[in-house]
Structure 1
Amino acid sequence: MASRLSVPAFSPERFAPTPARPLRAKSRVLEHQTDIQPHRHDWGQFVFSMTGAVRVSTDGIQAAAWPAASATYIVPPSRAVWIPPGLVHAVTAIERCDLRTLYVGTGLLEGDAWQVGRVLEVSPLMRALVLALPALPDPLPAEAADDAERRRGIEHLVVIELKRARALALGVALPQDARLRRLCEAMLREPGRHAGLQAWAAEAGASPRTLSRLFREQLGTSFAQWRSQVLLAHALTLAARGRPMSHIAAELGYASASAFTAMVSRTVGMPPRRFFDHA
């Protein structure tokens, strides 16, 4: 297994939004298996990758859709994660990625929907707008009048695009119980290592009955349902790289593409190709 590298957050206070600059962009290249340590800040954050998939994990807030207070989001470049102000979060590079972050000042996005973390679509226009914003820390250089006017116009369009972005149910709830949390983290890293609860239970040193009870109590779902959501998230990332269906099925531990297709159709009510196009 490749060694992991844990790095601190990239000086978020030097990119803090202000009334004069309510949107701040920054960029960072992360190598495969690099983790940005958990941190929080007083402003909202829109995070995605220009290339490569990332995993964003959050903690410390109660999402209305899940009984757990923690969640993880596995997203390809066509998707992004919204992180509300004050929410503890960490980022992991599933593969080498060009990470982009947009800090959003208080008051730009209001309403209950912006109080919880979620996955959003990234339109081609949104990607272009974020790239057009200067990714510079404080102290900022002086701006010419024309440059300032252009920046304010871009910021206005970014907020419009954020409000229009469609939310996608691609988050996976995480438990508070330490033993089940370790198991879930292992499944997130290698979802295709074991197919059934019996094998995962043996690895965790617990009985299948105990783990089934913990999934119900901690996450309000069954092991099979939770694992299906993890597999879908990883499958979406692989599909975004152009992997054929047979390769995706094999990497996720399915004996055949038809077995994988049956799982996706049963879970989301549509075949994989339609789901990938839709999601």
Structure 2
Amino acid sequence: MTEPTQPVLSDRVDFADIPPEFAPTPRHPIRVRSRPMPAGVRIARHTHAWAQVAYASRGVLRMTTVGTTWMVPPSRAIWVPPHVLHEVTIVEEAFLRTLYVYEDAVPPGLDACRVVEVSGLLRELIAALDTPDLAPERERLLGSLALDEIIRSEPLPLAVPMPTEKRLRALCEAVLADPAATDSLERSASAVGASTRTIARLFRQELGVSFSQWRQQAVLARAIPLLSQGRPLAQVAQVLGYQSQSAFSAMFRRQFGESPRAFIVRGAEHRTADGDDPQDLLDDERPDAALPDSSGS
């Protein structure tokens, strides 16, 4: 079976020099910046005094902080609180909208990074805020409602904890780059100059999980973008190293509490409002035998 075509990557590194007109202020506590981004662009590690919401109506983002990385599929968004050091990589060509939120306007309960569902209302609020010359009162009302919708949005279990120890970090980055690799822990440990015992101990000490538990989360993070592209489930399972699509589906349901089909359909419905046809995104998955049934087997 043909593996997914890899995007042509840019080698461009952007720096977080935000034009003054997009910086939030007490008078304009929420600003929106929109732009297309080619695959492979990396926005270098940075921090700022305001919070942000990164949302791609199409394309996939990877957001990385000191201790965690998130793979953010299209039609979902990631919230980043103020003063959090982070880096953004455009995994697939994206249309990115970023909301910058003045620190004093951040409501209680949004003190940690999270990937959230983007409801139809939140999507429309973001689009409405992305309008030139908004009246200040309308801007304030739209912004307040957008923040309320973010608080109410369902968080998704897409965080992959990342270590700080140099050898373990190198191993984890290699797995994220190729989660389907079947290298044993012994071989992976050797590649970074450590013993199996040392790596196993570091996983427990730094991340509180075993290598196999961490790898499963890394595989899931990579699966979400593939599913969001509408790829057949059998293909996704194979690319990620699963022997069968039923085994992959069972893992997915344990993590998300729903089948891959349900996840795909919800994301497709969101993208319809941005001009995509959800049927086109699902046609590759016909016949129904290519996807798990409602039992998740």
1:184 alignment partner in structure 2: 172
- The aligned runs of 1:64-79 (5 Å cut-off) are 70-79=67-76
1:5 alignment partner in structure 2: 12
Summarize the Cα distance change of 1:135–1:41 in structure 2 as closer, same or farther, 3 Å threshold.
farther
1:210 alignment partner in structure 2: 198
Aligned to 1:205, the other structure's residue is in SS state: coil
CA–CA distance in 2 between the matches of 1:255 and 1:151?
A: 51
- TM-align CA RMSD: 2.5
1:126 alignment partner in structure 2: 122
Bigger mean CA deviation after superposition, 220-229 or 8-17: 8-17
CA–CA distance in 1 between the matches of 2:11 and 2:32?
A: 26
Number of aligned positions between the proteins: 260
CA shift for structure 1 position 195: 5.2
Instruction: Give 2:152's match in structure 1, choosing from 160, 164, 168.
Output: 164
TM-score by length of 2: 0.78
2:247 alignment partner in structure 1: 259
Measured against aligned partners, the alpha-carbon deviations of 1:172-197 in whole angstroms (never above 9, x if no partner) come to: 11101011111111211221123542
CA–CA distance in 2 between the matches of 1:73 and 1:126?
A: 20
CA shift for structure 1 position 273: 4.1
- The aligned runs of 1:105-144 (5 Å cut-off) are 105-111=102-108, 113-134=109-130, 143=133
Instruction: Give 2:50's match in structure 1, choosing from 39, 43, 48.
Output: 43
Bigger mean CA deviation after superposition, 207-216 or 154-163: 154-163
TM-score by length of 1: 0.83
Give the conservation status (yes or no) of the 8 Å contact 1:194–1:200: no
Summarize the Cα distance change of 1:235–1:159 in structure 2 as closer, same or farther, 3 Å threshold.
same
1:33 alignment partner in structure 2: 40
Q: Select the structure with the greater relative contact order (CA < 8 A; seq sep ≥ 6).
A: 1
| Unaligned ranges ≥5, structure 1 | 60-69, 137-142
2:59 alignment partner in structure 1: 52
CA shift for structure 1 position 215: 0.6
Instruction: Give 1:98's match in structure 2, choosing from 95, 103, 116.
Output: 95
Aligned to 1:45, the other structure's residue is in SS state: strand
CA–CA distance in 1 between the matches of 2:165 and 2:12?
A: 25
Measured against aligned partners, the alpha-carbon deviations of 1:32-85 in whole angstroms (never above 9, x if no partner) come to: 1111001111111111211101000112xxxxxxxxxx1111011122111111
Measured against aligned partners, the alpha-carbon deviations of 1:134-169 in whole angstroms (never above 9, x if no partner) come to: 377xxxxxx5xx844433332232122122222222
Give the conservation status (yes or no) of the 8 Å contact 2:230–2:264: no
CA–CA distance in 1 between the matches of 2:130 and 2:259?
A: 41
Bigger mean CA deviation after superposition, 100-109 or 188-197: 188-197
